[in-house]
A and B are shown apart, each in its own frame.
Chain A
Amino acid sequence: MLANDTRSLPATMNAHERLTWDEICQRYPDEWVIVVAIQPVDPPNQMDEGDEVDNVCCVPIEDCTAVVVAHGKNRKNLSPKIKALQQHHPGLGAFFTGRLIPPAYELVMP
């Protein structure tokens, strides 16, 4: 579902709204989101030495703001959208908003 498809989104949503990662996780819980225009909240930390490959891609998405352009529960289903979008947004990324843990390691009983 494209984020600018207003037929299935809350009326209050701004399709081009820049959000923090926490805000993205709140709006799209346990989903894959395609984000563009990723920007770090703070400048790169001066304590990081020798950043020859230092760009936004090295900054955790949790420390960035971005614009959500699509989202969905199934990552593979987003592939066609990613292929289309990356022509205009080559720095886009796809990230899961839920808990990151191998399911095999989850406790069956507390």
Chain B
Amino acid sequence: MIRNLLLYIDPGSGSYLIQVIIAAILGVAFYFRNLWWKFRSLFFKGKKDQPPKNDEQDV
């Protein structure tokens, strides 16, 4: 729930909603990416079995 605060800048109509949507999309992408790396590590054990850091992701 968003607290009713006195804000000095207008967050902009829809700006909270879009953050919720983007965070959800990123969450799903993150979930599948981890799943993919787990799956990959079954076949390439010992080699690059860590998911790339966030900087390297393409989403």
Q: Do A and B bind each other?
A: no
- B interface with A by C-beta (< 8 Å): none
A residues contacting B by CB (< 8 A) are: none
